[in-house]
Amino acid sequence: MPAEPTDPDVTPPRLTFLGPQRDPRLDSVVRNLGLEGGTFATITAGWRDRESDDGLLDEQLGGRSTNLRLWGLMQQVWDADPELEQADRERRSRLGELQSLYLIGLEQAAEALWRIQAATIKNEDIREVATLDAVRIMREMDEQHLERVDDLHQEFYERFQPQHRDAVVTARFAVGRAISQVDAVVITGGHVGVLLGALHLFNLGPALSVPEVDEDGVQSSSTRLHRPIIAWGAGAMALTERVLLFYDNSATSPGVSEMLMRGLGLTRDVVALPSPKDRLDMKNEQRMRKLVARLAPARALLLDGRAEVTLTPEGQIPPGARLMGEDGTPCTYEGEESA
């Protein structure tokens, strides 16, 4: 069993984000983190019906992994509780419509921003004011969308109370017990919406972390991990405060980056951008500057190539990580003082 995280002599568990694993190197990451010989729980729900195709993943983990198979477990819950399955189907339908209409608004705001940048005017300071106004509108749209998504989730959980239904209770107990018996957790990529749905249904937030409490017993916004977590792709996105969907390289026209929902919130001021060279028009500095301004005060963490970023115990980005800077170009983060 892993040492208790409350032991002052033990280094606090941390969250490690990786770049894409198309050329797997998880085994070397495990060695770098001092986890060689340990046991792992893996979460591959983002792969959906391919989640059990984990032979290479288990090999990279030394044959010591237990796949929680949350996607398959979710299908079992729906089979056992048709009422809950129908309610969740309706929730997902409403979320899809909410996302579609929010995106229409974003596209209009992005078009306005493009026209502001392209307009022929004499005074650049006036253009800058108009640009800031357009970015502010997009930030407000993002936050309003996240709040409405929160409301839909809250309505579902209050009305149908999955936490009190037999199939969910049994599954949550099994998942929680499995995680308690390993040294670390590994979360892969795939479909981030499906992954988050499984993480929430089986209450993975408390299984992975606990809120910090100050000397007066007041719960803070920070969390403490129970054990180390390694994640990439959708797995990394799902653990942050806000999940941003982004894809600039559309065959028809540049896409508009859009907020999906809040993640598990195990990080502080982090927006994860997996495979940014494949998905972002990183040569368009103007476009990147607007994205960074829209995400502030969170920082845009670039997870490409051989990225391996172990966050601080507080879930913050460490010095040396690669970010998208305020000037719209990639940079190396030098720490809070230089931010």
CATH architecture of 15-79+163-338: 3-Layer(aba) Sandwich (3.40)
Contacts of residue 220, defined as CB under 8 A and 6 or more positions apart, other chains included, come to 211, 212, 213, 214
Q: Read off the pLDDT of residues 62-87 as tens digits, 9 standing for 90 and up.
A: 999 999 999 999 999 999 999 999 99
Closest CA to 315 of 299, 329, 328: 299
How high is the mean pLDDT of the chain? 92
Helices (H), the chain: 26-32, 55-60, 70-80, 82-118, 124-160, 166-180, 192-201, 204-208, 234-239, 276-279, 285-295
**According to the model, what pLDDT value does residue 273 have?**
97
CA 305 to chain CA centroid, nearest Å: 18
Average pLDDT over residues 42-64: 97
* 5: pLDDT strictly greater than 80: no
- The string of pLDDT tens digits covering residues 176-230 is 999 999 999 999 999 999 999 999 999 999 999 987 766 666 666 678 999 999 9
Beta pairing partners, 231 = 17, 187
The arithmetic mean of pLDDT across residues 236-250, rounded, is: 90
Q: Sketch the domain layout of the chain as residue ranges.
A: 15-79+163-338, 86-162
Token code pair at residue 189: 């990529």
CA angle 206, 207, 213 (to 5 degrees): 40
